[in-house]
Amino acid sequence: MSLGRQKETEIRVDDVSMIFGSKGKEVTALTNVSFEVYRSEFVSLLGPSGCGKSTLLRLMADLLEPTSGRITIGEEEPREVRLKRKFGIVFQSPTLFEWRTVKDNIELPMEVLGLKKSEYSAISEQLIEMVGLSKFKHHYPWQLSGGMQQRVAIARALSLDPPILLMDEPFSALDEFTKEKLQLDLLDIQKQTNKTIVFVTHSIPEAVFLSDRVIVMSAHPGRVHSILEMEREEGSYAHIRNSERFHEMTARVRNCFVDEEDSLNERMA
């Protein structure tokens, strides 16, 4: 994205900690996490399994409440934002309804909201085209590949035109080729729609390829290790992924984890 001169804060995470479980059996999932996400920015939450990425995304989505600290989206609490349906969510598994076609799955949130079919049919047609499923709109989920199913999930998450898209490892169950195509298409979708995207991943190249900024997290307990600005390049997938700059950026991100391992080894020695 081109941030321009003015960055407008869309999501503010302020000193958030999250402890699960009851006294004596507590699991600290996150400690003192703070950062901002700007409007129309693509931010990845990157870190090893168990560092609290999903917890953080769930807190933003009001699926959990923090033990302490505060999250605000615009000027509002996550709860208000959820009730106003200002974000869409995509999980690792697409969770589609098997008895509904692609089009009917995408239309579900609009149907539930009580919009008229005449209104939402045009919207779903547009979304189907955007995610490249025009030829499959009358197919059922079981007739689609994993990547196509995830495209449906993305279109459904965008159906109420939320300004924010929260994505939890949406491509990690897909094969490498499908993943690459979806990554490219997601960037295209963001370009077309200007959504603010928070994207959870444990893949360094994926985070580097997609993001304006990468929030590197570390585990035990989950916290922000560092926040790194990426340089987005134009060009084909191969051009970008093979470029010197891409390698530099992945190395920079990877070094954060090397630091972390070193300090862990020191503590354990």
Residues that bind Mg ion in the complex, under the rule CB under 5 A: 54
Task: Provide the minimum distance between the beta carbon of 169 and Mg ion in the complex, in angstroms, as a whole number.
Answer: 6
Binds ligand ADP (CB under 6 A): choice among 15, 27, 138, 188? 27
Q: Looking at the DSSP assignment, which residues form a beta bridge with residue 79?
A: none
User: Residue 108 or 173: which CB sits closer to Mg ion?
Assistant: 173
CA-only gyration radius of the chain, Å: 19
49 forms part of the interface with ligand ADP (CB under 6 A): yes
Binding residues for ligand ADP restricted to 217-256, rule: CB under 6 A: 222
Dihedral angle computed from the Cα positions of residues 83, 87, 91 and 94, in that order, rounded to the nearest 10 degrees: 90
By a kind-dependent CB cut-off of 5 to 8 A, residue 227 interacts, out of Mg ion, ligand ADP, none, with none
Cis upstream peptide for 109 (omega within 30°): no
Q: What is the DSSP letter of 222?
A: B
By a kind-dependent CB cut-off of 5 to 8 A, residue 55 interacts, out of ligand ADP, Mg ion, none, with ligand ADP
Site string for ligand ADP, 29-48 (x = CB under 6 A): x-----------------x-
Q: How far apart are CA 140 and CA 157, in angstroms?
A: 18
The token duo for 254 is 């990877």
Binds ligand ADP (CB under 6 A): choice among 17, 55, 201, 211? 55
Q: How far apart are CA 20 and CA 9, in angstroms?
A: 29
Q: How far apart are CA 89 and CA 87, in angstroms?
A: 7
Of all residues in this chain, which one has the CB nearest to Mg ion in the complex? 54
Footprint on this chain of ligand ADP (rule: CB under 6 A)? 20-21, 27, 29, 47, 49-55, 222
